[in-house]
Amino acid sequence: MKLPALVIDTAKIRHNTRVVSSMLGELGMRLVGVPKSVLGHPAVVKAMVEGGAAAIADSRVENLARAREGGYAGETVLLRSPAPSRVDEAVAVADVSLNSEVEVVRMLAKAARKANRTHKVVLMVDLGDLREGVPVHKAVETAKAMSSEDGVKLAGIGVNLACYGGVIPTREKMEALLKVRDDIESSLGLKLETVSGGNSANMPLVMNKEMPAGITELRIGESVLLGTEAVHRSPVPGCYPDAFTIVAEVIEVQTKPSKPEGQVGQNAFGLVVTFPDRGIRKRAICAAGRQDIDPDGLTPLEPGVQVLGASSDHLILDVQDAGDVKVGSMLRFIPAYSSLLQAATSPFVEKVVR
Ligand X SMILES: *Cc1c(COP(=O)(O)O)cnc(C)c1O
Under the rule (CB under 6 A), what is the footprint of ligand X?
34, 36, 59, 79, 98, 160, 199-200, 219-222, 230
- To ligand X, the closest distance from the beta carbon of 98 in angstroms equals 6
- Report yes or no: 166 and 180 within 8 Å, Cβ to Cβ: no
SS3 state at 297: helix
Residue nearest to ligand X (CB): 221
Cα(210)–Cα(212) distance, rounded to whole angstroms? 6
36 in active site: yes
SS (H, E, C) 246-274: EEEEEEEEEEEECCCCCCCCCCCCCCCCC
Length of the chain: 354
Q: How far is CA 63 from CA 26, 94, 178, in A?
A: 30, 11, 31
Could you tell me which of 109, 136, 139 has the C-alpha nearest to residue 121? 109
- To ligand X, the closest distance from the beta carbon of 309 in angstroms equals 26
- To ligand X, the closest distance from the beta carbon of 131 in angstroms equals 8
- CB nearer to ligand X: pick between 222 and 318: 222
Cα(351)–Cα(347) distance, rounded to whole angstroms? 9
Q: How far is CA 248 from CA 134, 170, 282, 303, in A?
A: 44, 40, 18, 15
- CB nearer to ligand X: pick between 179 and 233: 233
Catalytic, out of 2, 12, 36, 326: 36
- To ligand X, the closest distance from the beta carbon of 231 in angstroms equals 10
- CB nearer to ligand X: pick between 59 and 291: 59
- CB nearer to ligand X: pick between 218 and 298: 218
Q: What residues act catalytically?
A: 36
